[in-house]
Amino acid sequence: MPEQQTVSKSVLFVCLGNICRSPAAEGVLKHLLHQRGLAGSIRVESAGTSGYHLGDLPDRRMRAAAKKRGMVLESRARSVSSQDLRDFDLIVAMDRDNYRELLRLASGPNTKIRLLSDFLDESWPREVPDPYYGGDEGFEHVLDMLEAACPELLDELQNGAAC
Ligand code: 4NP
């Protein structure tokens, strides 16, 4: 039987290009939802603050790293819009530049906009580093951070604390 759930909450992950970090975050949270029998109960998407890679699949290096952990990333890059800020319950920026760009789009403070590191303990960096110009280990590090953050993020979403 396919898992059927009522969609109760929504989360949008945001990075710069929407081909590395945020589609990986989308994949990690969807994977977690699936593992917990909650697939479909939360709307999960990703977007970029730039339009550099519109319509592209995630970067092949990120797809390969995710595949090794059992995840297939198949979203297509799109730009974040002001409508997204109205539609989604929670909008999670990967780094401070993305966060500032989202606040600019929102024209001011908005409690729905958070940093990914808000869902991590202090042993992790405060920003998810951009792996695009680096080696394979950067992609693994991003996935490690996302896998550490998503259980807490889901917990807050389900308990209403995140939004
Ligand atoms: P992302 O990584 O923001 O994690 O998707 C990047 C992807 C592409 C570029 C920069 C960052 N770029 O400059 O093309």
CA–CA distance from 130 to each of 1, 22, 54, 70 (Å)? 39, 10, 18, 22
What confidence tier does 109 reach under pLDDT thresholds 50, 70, 90? confident
Residue 1 has pLDDT above 60, yes or no: no
Q: What is the mean pLDDT of residues 18-35?
A: 98
**Ligand 1 within 6 A of 42 CB?**
no
User: 122: buried, middle or exposed (CB in 10 Å: 19+, 13-18, 0-12)?
Assistant: exposed
Is residue 56 annotated as a catalytic residue, yes or no? no
Global pTM value = 0.96
Pocket probe mutation, ligand 1, options 52, 56, 141, max atoms within 8 Å of Cβ: 52
Q: What is the mean pLDDT of residues 32-56?
A: 97
Query: 59: closest CA among 45, 49, 71, 73?
Result: 73
> Quick one: what percent of the chain has pLDDT higher than 90?
90
Residue 88 has pLDDT above 50, yes or no: yes
Residue 125 has pLDDT above 80, yes or no: yes
Is residue 163 annotated as a catalytic residue, yes or no? no
Q: What is the mean pLDDT of residues 148-163?
A: 88
